[in-house]
Every structure is written in structure tokens, then in C-alpha cells.
Copies of this chain bind each other. A is one copy, B any other.
């Protein structure tokens, strides 16, 4: 494993354990038994390291989406996709809790607006498909609202999870928040769709 990748992985681990705020680049280099200067060679600024981590996260999410679109649309498969996305976010939770430091990167190096747009575009396609195959129906609750809800949920659940349930592990959190999501979907699911929700309730 290349030093660059080992730095990224160790940074993710430490960010998750202690938080970005309490993790110095010295801590990272110390655990890796490399010099701070060496770390500086690979990532001249802490923000560059952050950007690299975000890129890796985004890549994993893209793969998850691609996997979904490779198969037939269906509520069960979509919920599996979301669970996959939640697990990805959990793996990078330390970064998302460091919002304050993150913002400076999101504003400049990272085109967050584009990511946001893509996510909403995907959601619209997915929901349309699920309506088409008869799993969802948007009579009482509108499609636009559900897109807003899903965007909100996917972006923020990990923060609430770490604040409100810091003692829970990954699987408990996934179960809790997928259950939350499933209950929201109850209001827009057909009878056929509701069958797919059952395992998450």
C-alpha cells in the first residue's frame, strides 16, 4: 500500500475516533511512523488531505449508484442502495462532523453544488422509475417533497446519529435510520411497494 493511501486511511480512522478537530497531522504521521515532513510532501495542507478523503468517499458513492442503475428498478433494490450509502457515510463520519473545517474546502476546492445537483437528478430518475414499476405513488405526498426529504436525510442523518446516539455502532444506526426512512416511504408506497419496506420496519 502506497504511503499516500496509508495516510488517507489513517486520517480517516483518527478522524472517526477523535474527530478532525482533535487530530493533528503530527498524530497521523506518528501512528504511521513517518515524519511530519513526509506527510507534508504528500499533502502540503490539511485541507488537501481532506479533499482527497472526500474524493475517495464520492467515488465509493458513485460506484454504489452505478451498481443500482445496472439493474432493474425496484423499491427493495433502492433501499439496499440507500443502506449502502449510509454505510459509506458512517465509514467517513469523522469528516462530516468536521463541518466547520469542511466548509472551507466545500466552498473552494470542492464543487459541492455540482454534487448536490447530480444527487437530486439521480433521485428524480429513481423515483420516477419506482412510480413506473408500481412501487410508489405520489398522491398525498408530492415527489418534490420526497426529493427534498431524501436529500436532507442523506446529508444530515450521520450528524444527528453521532450527536444523539454516539454509543450506538454501525449496524444499530443503519437499522434505526433505515427504519426511519421506511416509515416515511409508507406514505408513498403502493401495497406492492410496502412489501419491500417490511424488512426495514
Contacts and interface: CB of A to CB of B under 8 A. Distances in A.
A175 interface: no
A101 B21 contact: yes
B162 A159 contact: no
A149 B177 CA distance: 11
The interface residues of chain A, by DSSP majority, are classed as helix
A65 B165 CA distance: 25
Which A-B residue pairs are the 9 nearest by beta carbons? A156-B156, A21-B100, A145-B183, A98-B100, A19-B100, A97-B99, A97-B100, A21-B101, A187-B187
Given A187-B140, A187-B141, A163 B100 contact: no
A137 to B, nearest CB: 12
A140 B142 contact: no
A186 interface: yes
B160 A152 contact: yes
Given A98-B99, A99-B100, A140-B187, 15 more contacts: A19-B104, A20-B100, A21-B100, A21-B104, A22-B100, A99-B159, A99-B162, A140-B140, A140-B186, A141-B183, A145-B180, A145-B184, A151-B164, A152-B156, A155-B163
A164 B155 contact: yes
Interface in A53-109: 97-101, 103-104, 106-107
A180 B98 CA distance: 26
Report copies per complex.
2
Contacts of A148: 180, 183
Nearest to A145: B183
